[in-house]
Amino acid sequence: MNDVFGIVIYLFSTVFLSLIITPFVRWFAFKIGATDKPDARRINKTVMPTIGGLAIFLSFAISAVFIFDNYIPKTYILPILLAATVIIVTGIIDDTKELSPKGKLLGITIAACIAYFLADIRMESFSLPFIGNVELGILSFPATIIWILALTNAVNLIDGLDGLASGVSLIALGTMGIIANFFIPSSNFHITLTIFILIASIVGFFPYNFHPAKIFLGDTGALFLGFMIAIMSLQDLKNVTIVSLVTPLIILGVPITDTVFAIIRRYINKQPIASADKMHLHHRLLSLGFTHRGAVLTIYGLAMLFSFTALLLTYTSTFGGILLVILLLLGIELFVELIGLVGPNKQFLLNLFGYLFGNKKKNDSENDEQK
């Protein structure tokens, strides 16, 4: 009981630490020129400091190493912090000098390699229904690197509105923490605790980042949060079932959906995959008349829906899980078509429903006339 009380006090201390550090990081951002200036692609109307993720990282690192030193082994946390430092440096360079996509990719890949070789964070095998266990063998390394790259970039892509990426990350990490604590018997307590330390670090930063924001996450923060979510999701995926493999993807359903349909949209329109546009999920909601805060809260709601689905997966049978995923995918497709995420006139499912039910309605009308 004393341990639980002590941990709660330490987590509140981490929140307070983040609240204190963030204003100093904001001052530092102006000092080094890490700012976002208004332009055609930006939502902000004034010059805004970025590198807000540095405040989250510093709070997380100080808390994990010093405040929770009796709970989290140094051999576990130090390699993770080394990899995260590479991400932070990559983000700061990008927020001040603007790195090319290849430069950012290189930084994330180096960090992922550190996580794989030094922190022993890797995907080694998975099991499929009716097939059994599949050992990845030499494919373990590329599978792990691709996983980290994909999830890191997915979170980075949704960082377009005040509090959006930080809020979605809070929801995702909270869900991961609940699943790790209550539904994964083999999960080590220090892994779960690390997730909640990261959550506390974001909570302290969040009041400065929610609309109207005083500081942006920047690529420093979006890459860091995406990277941490990616490696924390791998902590219990060394040997995974298909459900436990899909669960982190569902938890991160909002950024992954946005990323996947951005790739599809650019491919259809013959644009480079890495090109920027104003057709992301938050852009589409704004264009439909949502306020800044309304768009953010709507996406929070979607993130919670994905997280609730992920929690349901832990209870369902294999068949129930497959059915749940299929229904979720159909719902995503309908939502994407309704808001025009891929583009106008790209509404396969809506057109199919219109054809099926439209024809039925037409036939019923013709029958009535004949009578």
Distances (CA, A) of 274 to 58, 102, 339: 30, 10, 22
CA distance 368 to 357: 16
The tokens of 180 are what? 């790790």
**Residue 219 in marked binding region:** yes
Distances (CA, A) of 252 to 15, 64, 245: 24, 24, 12
Residues 6+ apart with CB under 8 A from 87: 107, 108, 111, 152, 223, 224, 227
The tokens of 36 are what? 């976002």
**Residue 153 in marked binding region:** no
According to the model, what pLDDT value does residue 238 have? 47
Distances (CA, A) of 243 to 87, 183, 260, 318: 29, 12, 20, 8
According to the model, what pLDDT value does residue 251 have? 83
According to the model, what pLDDT value does residue 131 have? 64
Q: Where are the beta strands (DSSP E) in the chain?
A: 35-36, 48-49, 125-128, 132-135, 239-241
According to the model, what pLDDT value does residue 144 have? 93
CA distance 281 to 40: 17
Per-residue DSSP letters for 174-185? Answer: HHHHHHHHHT-T
Domain range annotation of the chain: 2-370
According to the model, what pLDDT value does residue 165 have? 92
Q: Which residues pair with 127 in a beta bridge?
A: 133, 241
- Chain centroid, CA 316 distance in Å: 24
Structural contact between residues 155 and 222, judged by C-beta atoms closer than 8 angstroms: yes
Distances (CA, A) of 207 to 1, 236, 304, 342: 31, 31, 20, 33
- At 99, phi and psi to the nearest 5? -75, 155
Per-residue DSSP letters for 189-220? Answer: HHHHHHHHHHHHHHHHHHHHHSSSPSS--HHH
According to the model, what pLDDT value does residue 159 have? 85
pTM of the model: 0.87
Q: Which residues pair with 125 in a beta bridge?
A: 135, 239
Mean pLDDT by 10 residues, the chain (371 residues): 82 97 96 81 74 97 96 96 98 92 94 96 73 79 94 88 92 88 69 95 96 92 95 69 67 84 79 72 82 89 88 77 83 81 67 62 50 48
Residue 27: CB atoms within 10 A of its CB come to 11
